[in-house]
């Protein structure tokens, strides 16, 4: 009877990575040690030992010190259909102090997209500079795309100008969020209009008329987007004379946001605010605390985004939620269509819903 051999952790990790290589998941280069550690939940020493094993087997070729290893498997051992190289052009700038190799703005959904595409056999990379880094300048975006070849691009929260440029290129591109109305460009994300309308109607029913919607500049310029137009039309429909005050312009920076709130609360402050992202919702809470204003007794707040950090807030946060899973699946299906040589320009959005919480209440009688 043969003795039972229990695989060591290094051997298990080697086998795991070997399977990913043979499935064709990585093409050209494999991810770095830090990324593989996070994916496999093992130490850097274990990953390095497993990678050395694969080099000895001839499946990987060392790139030298501080360089990525290259895949050296015979083509016939991989998938018959080559995985694609997919570029992600993100919106936000890299936080200060982060190394240049750190992927830009690692939101949970971006990571889900990255992992899902890699699991499908594609190679994913982040553009070196985000759209904020490039000042939303189409010429600079074009130059960056030219310098970083990819089989397909996913553009997160692109401006209207940049999405118009991508729509006019032969390079397969897809918008994740962004204003694609009327453009021949694939798009996915949440349908926010019904949720924002529901939030607005509930606030009006509670007696609020001085309602402010705070959104990014690309949602307001050159003309308000679908969500913003629906919000303004809803105010008009209830006899509220909506102006630029209800959809204010502001400089997108921490200082610019504070200056906006200072301006809004200087004379006739809003009684309710719908704020587009969690970070700015938290910044607004801090501002209101300095103003000694209590939520929801003196002002009602709605977050048009949701993060698990908000679960710790009391009172509970009124927010807009949507399921990221179908969005991720839609992106994977779109890349698969590109891989097969099929043109897919469908704009498929998924419903978002408004969840009323303790951060909204009746109009406070001053």
Domain locations in the chain as residue ranges: 9-77, 85-184, 191-322
How far is it, in rounded angstroms, from Cα 117 to Cα 91? 19
List, in sequence order, every beta strand (DSSP E) within the chain: 60-61, 70-71, 85-89, 123-126, 152-156, 173-176, 186-191, 211-214, 272-275, 300-303, 318-321, 347-351, 353-355
Q: Looking at the predicted structure, is the pLDDT value of residue 366 above 70?
A: no
What's the pLDDT at 360? 97
**Burial environment of residue 138 by CB neighbours within 10 A (0 to 12, 13 to 18, 19 or more):** middle
What's the pLDDT at 73? 52
What's the pLDDT at 352? 96
As a whole number, the mean pLDDT across the chain is 87
Q: Looking at the predicted structure, is the pLDDT value of residue 105 above 50?
A: no
Whether a cis peptide bond, with omega within 30° of 0, leads into 222 is: yes
What three-state secondary structure class fits 79? coil
Do the domains 191-322 and 85-184 match in fold?
yes
**Looking at the domain 9-77, which fold is it?**
Arc Repressor Mutant, subunit A (1.10.10)
Assigned CATH for 191-322: 3.40.50.2300
From 51-60, 153-162, 180-189, 228-237, the region with the lowest mean pLDDT: 51-60
What's the pLDDT at 32? 85
What's the pLDDT at 3? 41
pLDDT tens-digit readout, 227-251: 999 999 999 999 999 999 999 999 9
Does CATH place domain 85-184 in 3.40.50? yes
Q: Which of 269, 266, 276, 264 is nearest to 227 (CA)?
A: 276
364: DSSP letter? P
Residue 18: pLDDT band with limits 50, 70, 90: confident
Name which residue leads in pLDDT, 66 or 342: 342
Residue 99: pLDDT band with limits 50, 70, 90: very low
What's the pLDDT at 97? 47
- The two tokens of residue 211 are 């309602």
């Amino acid at each position: 009877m043969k003795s039972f051999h229990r695989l060591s952790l290094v051997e298990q990790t080697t086998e795991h990575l070997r399977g990913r290589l043979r499935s064709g998941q990585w093409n050209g280069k494999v991810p770095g040690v830090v990324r593989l550690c996070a994916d496999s939940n093992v130490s850097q020493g274990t990953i390095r030992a497993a990678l050395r094993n694969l080099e000895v087997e001839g499946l990987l070729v060392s790139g030298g010190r501080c360089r990525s290893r290259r895949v050296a498997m015979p083509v016939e051992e991989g998938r018959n259909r080559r995985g694609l190289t997919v570029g992600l052009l993100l919106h936000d700038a890299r936080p200060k102090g982060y190394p240049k190799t750190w992927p830009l703005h690692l939101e949970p959904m971006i990571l889900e997209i990255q992992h899902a595409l890699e699991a499908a056999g594609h190679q994913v990379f982040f553009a070196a500079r985000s759209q904020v880094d490039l000042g939303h300048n189409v010429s600079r975006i074009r130059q960056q795309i030219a310098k970083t070849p990819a089989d397909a691009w996913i553009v997160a929260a692109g401006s209207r100008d940049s999405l118009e440029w991508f729509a006019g290129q032969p390079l397969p591109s897809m918008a994740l969020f962004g204003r694609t109305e009327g453009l021949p460009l694939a798009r996915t994300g949440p349908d926010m209009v019904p949720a924002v309308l529901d939030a607005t109607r509930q606030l009006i029913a509670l007696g609020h008329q001085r309602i402010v919607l705070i959104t990014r500049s690309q949602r307001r310029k050159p003309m308000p987007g679908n969500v913003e137009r629906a919000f303004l039309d809803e105010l008009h429909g209830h006899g509220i004379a909506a102006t630029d005050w209800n959809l204010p312009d502001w400089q997108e920076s921490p200082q610019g946001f504070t200056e906006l709130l200072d301006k809004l609360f200087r004379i006739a402050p809003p009684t309710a605010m719908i704020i587009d992202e969690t970070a700015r919702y938290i910044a607004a809470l801090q501002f209101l605390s300095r103003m000694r204003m209590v939520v929801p007794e003196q002002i009602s707040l709605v977050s048009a985004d949701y993060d698990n950090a908000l679960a710790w807030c009391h009172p509970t946060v009124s927010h807009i939620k949507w399921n990221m899973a179908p969005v991720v699946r839609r992106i994977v299906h779109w890349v698969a269509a590109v891989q097969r040589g099929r043109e897919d320009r469908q704009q498929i959005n998924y419903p978002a819903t408004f969840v009323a919480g303790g951060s909204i209440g009746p109009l406070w009688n001053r």
